[in-house]
Amino acid sequence: MRKTLGYLLAIVFIIAGWEVTSLLVNSPALPEPWPAFCMLVENFADLWPAFLVSLYRVVVAMVIGTVIAIPIGLWVGRSPRADAVLAPVLYFLYPLPKVVLLPVLIVLLGLADAPKIVLIALTVFFQVLVTVRDAAKSVPEESVLSMRSLGGNRLDVYRHVVVPATLPDLFTALRISSGTAVAILFFAESLAGSTGLGYFIVDAWSLLNYPKMFAGIIAMALLGVILYELFEVAEKRLTRWRHIDR
């Protein structure tokens, strides 16, 4: 209930700020909220398929990037030898903006879903990998020794100590990555292809239909909020021990 009230207050605050800014700027490029919301309803038949396409792309990409990054991050974080070899590679590749690879991916994979999914997956992969690696590396050795003293093998150490200790940081990385993924999705869809919310927004912008453009922006914002909330719900379910006293 408290969270729902918080979201309602946030929506009221954003709409009020949007209304005031629109009146102050007094430009067709920044319409008032009501025309944008009306356009959202009027264009629902076009927005809904675009929303589903964008949702599919970002979810598939985040699943691929995360599933590949987690085991590698755990391995590098718990293996000094692997860390010594791969850490310099991560330091070099992680800061590289992955969006610069979009032209290459388009040439190799075409204009369909593949280049967009691969681009987002690459970004999520490195963000999750670095986070999981750091979290696994910082697991107290006392906890590991305690599990081994109870007869636990390496698999038990990972299952009962390392993985639970890294889960909170993992979900933090996923929540952050969800915003980054949506931003990259917009960039990729606006430049390559003719489907998705990114294309919908840029197409409306090219026609100077600014209310329609903001309808697409609202839909993309909803996409980001949905992903963020899904990760938060998953974190609460998988890390119940963190919320016992709350």
Mean pLDDT, each 10-residue run in order, the chain (246 residues): 76 89 88 90 90 95 95 90 87 87 89 90 94 89 77 77 88 91 91 87 92 93 92 84 58
Q: Give which of 66, 131, 123 is closest to 99, Cα–Cα.
A: 123
The pLDDT score that the predictor gives to residue 243 is: 60
The pLDDT score that the predictor gives to residue 209 is: 92
Task: Count Cα atoms within 13 angstroms, Cβ side, for 175.
Answer: 16
Cα radius of gyration rounded to whole Å, the chain: 22
Cβ partners under 8 Å of residue 206, min gap 6: none
Q: What does each C-alpha distance from 21 to 29, 31, 34, 138, 202 come to in angstroms?
A: 12, 10, 14, 46, 22
Residue that is written with structure tokens 């964008």 in the block: 54
Residue that is written with structure tokens 């709409």 in the block: 15
Residue that is written with structure tokens 């691969």 in the block: 118
Q: Are 214 and 32 in contact (CB under 8 A)?
A: no
3-state secondary structure of 153: coil
The pLDDT score that the predictor gives to residue 1 is: 65
Q: Are 123 and 65 in contact (CB under 8 A)?
A: yes
